[in-house]
Structure formats: structure tokens, C-alpha cells
Structure 1
């Protein structure tokens, strides 16, 4: 509301607004304490000052001006009320500190305090309490007062901020956003009537002491909260506070009639106001949350209907009493029928292929018997003869006595999903085969072979299963490449791999681990069995490649190691490798067992 003003005029504006309002409220509050019982339950200037701090622009000049205005007004009001000068200074300093602390605590939580959110309301209450505690401690220390003064200061300042700040902040924001002016006349009339009724009810309850009618203002404020939201709760609370404080201070009403010391009456009035405050403000915020959730739910339901239409999901319902079935238009389309075509219960089940139809009947029978939700997927014959995959989800409608009276379900054509899953699975399997296969020989590659050996070694170590490995490579392979070329070398490698694989047993595995080097994993093989199998491999390569027309002869040297408690495959392969080197040193085309 001051954005169009120059900085200097803006500072003067906030100074005057703070000083004038603070002085009037402080003077009225001090005057109210001079009643019959000298009762002061609330200190409104604290709430007014905090409201201005929250509403003013967030830069230094307006805040400095506001604090200066508050200090001047506080000193003037206290001096006018007969407070000693040193106490005036102490009280003014304490009131200034409480505003600064409350503002700082609130701004730590949010830049825009909203009384529409329960968490923000709780944060505001905590900030007000923290500022009140600090202010009371400072005022009591500077004034040299005791515990009674501390408690009185704490409660009056706390109530001032909790009761006065919310309605001022909300009212100014409604004016600034034109929400108040844009409200329908009927709504404004209703708000006026409700708040007026709250005031009249409070006056009626607190102008007499014959009947304990303190509950009537509570009903009025709760009604204001229910109909008008947080602003209604805050405004109603402010009206009740003003009336009860003034009337009780003048000796009227049920609280003033209590036979107790004035201090006890003040504490009871403060307790009454706090109870009313902490009932209505959270209630109003929760009502706003409920309204927002209702709007979100309505929007979510609208989006759900749109999503079902886009996903082409149909629904159906079987009446178990009349034994009839209802299909939505989309359910007809899924079955390849024109919407409205007569169908019966048996028709819908008969459309499933034979093996799927039996499963569907069983699932539905169990669901009707138990009342539990169900889901199934199967293949149906459409009216045009095409087979489609469909998925259904549903639940059982129960009648009186817990008897099933209907089945409700959805149906969706998932043919594309099933086909895509089948294609993806095939692609995954093909990719896995490519990743695990040596492209030249068609044998498992190094990565797959070593992974397989890792599992075999774990089985041998954990369960004592016999295991052996045989490493072999082609003798003088470099000479073959040099004499016949790399293409011929590749043919030799391929042929050696095929001959060696043909010589192995079904439980054995052969893999190429690099160049012309191969590994045989011989499971369930003792040392003697491993040697026999490895020798059979050597002979198969020697005789097979020699007999292959157009290929140069080739032989292999083999090193065999039997599992002997090795921790990892590297140790086992190292022993087999050492045996292979021994076979080569001794002339090649032979087999050697590892030590």
C-alpha cells in the first residue's frame, strides 16, 4: 500500500502509522487497568506492532521508522499513564526486542506468513511465545521485578500478538488483493452478521454473572471459523477479547464474579482466551485444508476419467441376482462388437480361448465365494476372429447379510503391451547371447567363461563337488598366421574350438579366453577323469584338423589343474597355466597335470 511513495515519504508514513496506533492502543490498555480489579489480560500494542512489521516492505528504512515510532509512542503512553521514567525506558526496550525477535523467528520459517496453513499457524504461535519469553525476561531484569511481573508480562504480550496480529494481517491482505471488495454482497452480509452476532453473544454472556455462560462466545467464534475461515476465527477472537477484557476489567461478568484475587481472575481470563484461540485458529486452518483437498480430489477424479478415456479402458458389471451383464461402449469395442449388441454372461466367458476360459471361471468363482478383489489376464476371440490379450480387474459387490450380489470389473486390451514385452524379452535374450558369445568360434567368451568358473568354484568350495580346469592353446599358431594369413588362422581357431567342444561331455564347458587360448571347465571330474577328457580333446584336435581339407595341421598343448581348495579362480587358473607351460617346454602337443 506504500509502493507508490518515495522512500522518505514511505518512512514518514510507517512512523506515523506505528506511533499513532501504538499510542492509542497502549493508552487504552493502560486505562483499562485502572478498573475495579486493576485487570489487564492482553497487551494489544504488541500484536499491532508485529502486524505492521509483517506487512511493511522488507528493507531497512520502513522498519527503522516503525521501531522509532513504536519507541516514541511507548514512552509517551507509559509516561502519560504514570509509569516512572526508568521503567518506561525498560518497558519500551523490551517491547521493541519482542517485535524484532518475533519477526526474525517468523522470517526464518517463511517469507510470507499464511494463516491458511496449519504448520504456519503453529510456527507463528511458537515465534510469539519465544518473543514473549525473551521480552518478559528483559523487562523483568531491567525493572528489577519478580516472578509475578514476569508471568504477567509474558501472558499479556503473548495474547496481544496471538489475538491482534492475525486479523490485521489478513484484513490488510484481503484489501490489497481486492478479495474483500470482490466478495459477493451476500457473503459480506453473512460475515457482518456472524461477527456482529459473536459480539452480541459475548456482551450477553459477560454483562451478567448469574448464569455461567462463558461457553456462548466459544460457539460464536467456532461458527465464525466454520463459515468464514481463518479471518472469521481471528476477527471473532479479537471481538471476544476486546469485550471480555473491558467488561471483566470493569467488574462485570462471570469471571469478575469469581471469589479470588485479581491476579487469579486475570490468569483465568487469559486461560479462557488461550483455550478459545487454540481451538478456533487451528480449526479454521484445517477447514481451509479440507476445502483445498476437496478441490484437489474433484480435479483428480476429472483427470482420472480423462485418463480412462485416453487409455481405452472399458468396464462391465454382472448382476448375480438377475444373471445379466452390462458392458460399457469401450468394452464392446474391445470385443469387436458394436456398442449395444445383446450379450449375456456366458457369452463374455466363452470368448476366452479354452485354457484361459477355464482359469477365468475359477477366478470368478473364488472371488464370489470369498468376496475378495480379483485380477486376471487372458486371450479372447474377437467377433472378427482376431485373438487379443485382455486384462481385467474387479471387485465383488456385497448385499445385506454379506451375500454377493454383483461383480464389477474393468477390461483393457493389452495386446500391444504383451507383444512389446515379448519383443523386449527376445531382444534381451539376443543381447545377452551376443554379450556372452565369442563371435569367431560361437563359444562362450572370456567374461562368460570366467563367470561360469566362478560359480563352479563356489560349488566345489561349498559342497565339495569335484572340479578341474584345462587350459590349452594352439601350438606354433604364429607360424600358421605367418605362413597362411590371418584369415586361415581364424579358420584354424574356429575348427579347433569345434573339435574340442565335440570331445567334451555334456556337463563340461569350453570357452575361448583370448587369441588362440581356450579353457575347459570340467565339473564332477576327479584328477583321473579330467586327464582322460583333456587327452581326448588333444587327440580330437590333432586328428580333426589334420583331416580337414584345406586347413594346415594344428595341435594343442594342455595344462590341467584339479581344484585343491583354492580361494579364487586366479589361483586355479595359474596352476593350470603353469602345467600348460610345462607341456610346451617338453615339446608341445601333449598334456601335463598341475602339481
Structure 2
């Protein structure tokens, strides 16, 4: 509350604030409403000092307790209470204030908030404990009986419960300058409600013909409902002041009670305590409900924003009445305006015919097993677009264990599917480029040797025949030197085309060097291998340089039949040796390895 004063001035401030307020409240209570043994019906001074202790810094407590001691002794002696009795009462009041402060700070080390139900409970428990300890101490020191103990405990308890909350909340609101932020209409409404509560209380407690003590309760509940904890606390304070003053003067429903003054005071205390215990927790619960509603509203808003950003919606099928709910984003995914009437059959019919049956099977199996589910499919939107969607969900079960609903999410994954397709196409294209000889379009050396390894493994495992033919272009250096490298490249391309055209479907040809090629002849015996190799030789001899503008070209071929070799190098070496034999014997011929 005070931040800019020097320590000495601040101590004087807290002393004067305590002594002035405590003396006025104590004197007014002792004068206005007296019960047995000169104990007031409500002791607001206890609530006042507790409020100051909660608001002030720790260094202000010593001068505050000094001011309380002076004010308490003066007020009690002013009510004709003997000095030693006044001193005993003052000591008991100081002890209960210390206990209440200690218990509150133990559970609420920060600022005590009457907006939280938990904090309200801790405050009430501390007030009850402090009032009981103070009553016991005062009874012991004053040598009184059980009636005195009960009267003391109830007056102090009511003082703390009724006076402390409005002082603390009002001070906090002033520190935060909350009144300047409140709309004018709300201030007018608050003034009208609290004024109405005062008027109703005056009407009820100024006469005893019509005991309508429930009317102030309605006013306080209305204040709690519209204004929250501050409204409840302020309304209770107004009702307490008016009811205590008028009852002390012999007016109101309490005056009609045919009993001694102690019973009348106890009835008034019970009335105020009942009203307080109904209003203050109710206000805290209402504030908690409002905060929960605001958090729920915010969570729903964030959920809608997240769904829109992620293109994810949610849906729920009620299996009892067979209705379906769609979130706004689910409508957008299906190309519909949010709120358009839909049913379960429509949501299933939007899937393409080839996907619809699979979706129905997944949902039926999920209902049967109760297990979470997931499915992919394509839907035909209302605007004619086909979109890929993915759904996840789970089954809701009732108390009896039966399925009562299906909850799921739906996500538009069209872009993901398209990106995956593009990525796969790019990967396949890159793989083709990596495995293809760019000049001839045939498999390159790496791909050819890999294919040969797989073919040899299959032959070894299944006992199938396999043959390998290696051939190269005869006198290719002479072609390059005479006609140029461009013509040499054309010759290589033409040889590749002619050789590939006469191979069987199960055979493969690849380029493994400059003018060198390999034919992998699967399921080919020695005889069939020789036939295919000879066919390749003739195709080149008769098809290259015969009216195509290229020089006449021939090839020499070495053939090796798989004979249990352990690796492809050994098999290729045998075929290579046969190729050298063909070249030595004059070229343009085929030779098979022994």
C-alpha cells in the first residue's frame, strides 16, 4: 500500500491507521449492539486488523499491533470494562490476529485472492481456528464460562469473515486502478445492487411485524451473482452494519424473539453467519465457473484455429440416434458451408465407390472390437474436386460397455499425397538416370553388374541355366579416327539398338565400357546362348552401315555359360577370354568359353 515513505514515517502511518480504525470499529460495536457480558454481536475490529496485516509489509506489523493494543484497551475501558479485563481481551484479540495471519500465509504465501474457492476455504478455516483460540484464551484470562466462550468466538469469527474480504478486495482494486477500467454501466449496476441490498435490509430490520429475513439473503446472492466475491463481501458488510445497528436499538425480527438478550444476539450471529457461508463461497464458485467458461471458449477458439491451419476437422457419430456432428473445418474439407445439414449416409457416400466399402468395413470392425481405427480414402467434394483424406478415431462406450458413439478426426492430405507422388516420380527418374547409360539408353555398368549378381544368385539357388555374352565393336578406334567421334557415338547407339532388338524378353543388355557391351541371357543353356549370341552378331553386321550413312560395323562376341562360379568377376573373365579368342581368330565371330 505504501511504497514511497521512509521507514519511520511508514511506522507512524501504520500505527495511526490501526489505532484510528480499530478504536472506531470497536467502540461502534460495543455501543450499537450489546450482548451478555458486554460482548458485541459482531466484532468488526478483528476483521479490520486482519485485513491490514494481510495488506501491509512485514515491517509494518509491530507498529500495527502497538496501535491495536492502544485502541483495544481504550475502547473496552470506554465501555466500562475494567483495565485488567480490557488488557486480557486485548491480548486475546492480538493472539487470534497472529494465528489467523500465520495460518493464511502458511497455505497462501502470495496475495490472498477471494476469487479462488481454495483460498476462500483457507481463509475461513484460519478465521475459525483463530476465533476459537482467542475465545478460549479470553475465557481463561477473564474467568468466564461457556456462554462467554461461545459469544466471543462467534463475534470474532463474524468480524473476520465479514469485514476482512471487502477491505482487502477494495484495496487491491484501488491499487490496480480497476475502477477506472470498469464500464460506467457496470458501476451504475453495482451501485444499484448494493443500494438495493441496503434498502431491503433497512425495510426488514426496521420492523418486526413481517419477519422477512430471507429478503436480504436474496439481495446478497444477487450481488454475488452479478458482482462476484466483492459484491458478496460488500453486500454482507452492508447487511451486517444495518442489521446490527437496528437490532441493537430494539428493532427488527430479533426484537420479536421472546427470550433473553443472549439468545437474540446468538440468533443474529447465526443469521449473519449462514448468510455469509452461502454468499461468499457461491461468489467464488461463480468466478471459477466464469474463468472456466472463458478458458473453454479460448480453447475452442484455439482448436478451430489449429484445425484450420492443419486442415484437420473432427466429427462424431451418435450410435444411439444415428446422427453425425461435423466441426467447421470438416465442412470445409468436404466443400460445404458450416452448418449444412448432413447425415451419416451422406458422409459415407462422399467417398469414391472404390474406397467406400473399405471405409465401411473399417468403421464396422471398430464398433465391433472397440479398438481405435485409421483409414485413408478419396472423397468427391460438392464442388466436384477429388480430395485425399485420412481419418483417425476411437469408439465411445457407455456405462454398460456398449458402443455409444464414434469420435474421429479427418485431415485433408491431398497435398501430402501429391507431394509423395511427385517425390516418388522424382526418385524413380533419378534412379533411372543413375542406372542408365546416357548415350545408348541401356543400363549402365553399375546397373548391369547388379542385375548379373541377382541373376547368378537365382541360378545358384534354383539350378537354372545362365549365360553371359560380352561383345565389342571391331576396329572401333579406326572408325573414330577416320570418321570422327560423333560418328563413333552414332555407331555405338546403332549397335545398341540392333543388339537389343534381337534379344529375348528375359534377356538384358548393358553397356559396360566405351564400345563394350554385356548380354545377360537368363535360362539360356550353352546351345541357346550360342544361338542368341550369333543372332546379335548377325543383327549388327546386317543392320549397321547398310544404307544408314554409317561405316560398316561388326562385333566380336565371347560367351560363357554359368558353371558354378562364386562371383560375377570369374564368369565375366571367362566370357572375356572367349572374346579375345574371337578377335584373335579374325573378329566378326562368336566364341564360347570352354
TM over 0.5: yes
Partner deviation per Cα, 1:77-98 (whole Å, 9 max, x = no partner): 1111111111011011111111
User: Paired residue for 1:328?
Assistant: 331
Structure 1: distance between partners of 2:55 and 2:387: 69
User: Paired residue for 1:55?
Assistant: 55
Structure 2: distance between partners of 1:299 and 1:411: 22
Structure 1: distance between partners of 2:227 and 2:386: 61
- Residue 228 of structure 1 deviates from its aligned partner by 0.7
Residue in structure 2 matching 1:105, options 103, 116, 125: 103
User: Paired residue for 2:26?
Assistant: 26
- Within 5 Å, give how 1:38-187 maps onto structure 2: 40-57=40-57, 59-60=58-59, 62-110=60-108, 111-187=110-186
Say if 1:379 and 1:390, in contact at 8 Å, map to a contact too. yes
* TM-aligned CA distance change 1:362 to 1:12, over 3 Å: same
- Within 5 Å, give how 1:435-474 maps onto structure 2: none
Partner deviation per Cα, 1:278-310 (whole Å, 9 max, x = no partner): 000001001111111111011101110111122
* TM-aligned CA distance change 1:133 to 1:36, over 3 Å: closer
- Give RMSD over aligned pairs: 4.0
Say if 1:351 and 1:382, in contact at 8 Å, map to a contact too. no
- Residue 374 of structure 1 deviates from its aligned partner by 9.2
User: Paired residue for 1:567?
Assistant: none
Structure 2: distance between partners of 1:15 and 1:346: 78
Partner deviation per Cα, 1:205-230 (whole Å, 9 max, x = no partner): 11111111000000000011111110
Q: What SS does the corresponding residue of 2:229 show, helix, strand or coil?
A: helix
- Residue 410 of structure 1 deviates from its aligned partner by 4.7
Say if 1:18 and 1:66, in contact at 8 Å, map to a contact too. yes
Say if 1:316 and 1:331, in contact at 8 Å, map to a contact too. no
* TM-aligned CA distance change 1:347 to 1:51, over 3 Å: closer
User: Paired residue for 2:554?
Assistant: none
The answer on 1:249 being equivalent to 2:248 is yes
* TM-aligned CA distance change 1:44 to 1:344, over 3 Å: closer
Q: What SS does the corresponding residue of 1:390 show, helix, strand or coil?
A: strand
Structure 2: distance between partners of 1:170 and 1:385: 60
Structure 2: distance between partners of 1:257 and 1:197: 25
Structure 1: distance between partners of 2:246 and 2:7: 43
- Residue 271 of structure 1 deviates from its aligned partner by 0.8
User: Paired residue for 1:6?
Assistant: 6
Say if 2:35 and 2:265, in contact at 8 Å, map to a contact too. no
Say if 2:48 and 2:164, in contact at 8 Å, map to a contact too. yes
The answer on 1:189 being equivalent to 2:188 is yes
Partner deviation per Cα, 1:465-520 (whole Å, 9 max, x = no partner): xxxxxxxxxxxxxxxxxxxxxxxxxxxxxxxxxxxxxxxxxxxxxxxxxxxxxxxx
Partner deviation per Cα, 1:445-472 (whole Å, 9 max, x = no partner): xxxxxxxxxxxxxxxxxxxxxxxxxxxx
- Residue 350 of structure 1 deviates from its aligned partner by 2.8
Partner deviation per Cα, 1:226-268 (whole Å, 9 max, x = no partner): 1111011000000101111111111111122111121111111
Q: What SS does the corresponding residue of 1:328 show, helix, strand or coil?
A: helix
Q: What SS does the corresponding residue of 1:114 show, helix, strand or coil?
A: coil
Unpaired stretches in structure 2, ≥5 consecutive residues:
337-344, 397-403, 421-564, 567-594
- Residue 330 of structure 1 deviates from its aligned partner by 2.9
Say if 1:35 and 1:250, in contact at 8 Å, map to a contact too. no
Structure 1: distance between partners of 2:130 and 2:348: 75
Structure 2: distance between partners of 1:248 and 1:308: 62
Q: What SS does the corresponding residue of 2:257 show, helix, strand or coil?
A: coil
- Residue 181 of structure 1 deviates from its aligned partner by 2.9
Structure 1: distance between partners of 2:316 and 2:409: 9
Structure 1: distance between partners of 2:348 and 2:362: 15
User: Paired residue for 1:466?
Assistant: none
Structure 1: distance between partners of 2:131 and 2:316: 64
- Residue 344 of structure 1 deviates from its aligned partner by 7.8
Say if 1:394 and 1:410, in contact at 8 Å, map to a contact too. no
Say if 2:389 and 2:410, in contact at 8 Å, map to a contact too. no
Partner deviation per Cα, 1:152-200 (whole Å, 9 max, x = no partner): 1111011111101100111111111100233222211111111111011
User: Paired residue for 1:561?
Assistant: none
Partner deviation per Cα, 1:366-418 (whole Å, 9 max, x = no partner): 999x9x9995513449999999672255999xxxxxxx9x999753256979x
The answer on 1:350 being equivalent to 2:357 is no
Say if 1:391 and 1:414, in contact at 8 Å, map to a contact too. no
TM-score (norm 2): 0.60
* TM-aligned CA distance change 1:35 to 1:203, over 3 Å: farther
Q: What SS does the corresponding residue of 2:75 show, helix, strand or coil?
A: helix
Unpaired stretches in structure 1, ≥5 consecutive residues:
334-342, 397-403, 421-547, 550-595
Structure 1: distance between partners of 2:146 and 2:81: 19
Partner deviation per Cα, 1:539-591 (whole Å, 9 max, x = no partner): xxxxxxxxx99xxxxxxxxxxxxxxxxxxxxxxxxxxxxxxxxxxxxxxxxxx
Structure 2: distance between partners of 1:15 and 1:37: 29
Structure 2: distance between partners of 1:249 and 1:112: 36
How many residues are aligned here?
395
Structure 2: distance between partners of 1:289 and 1:316: 30
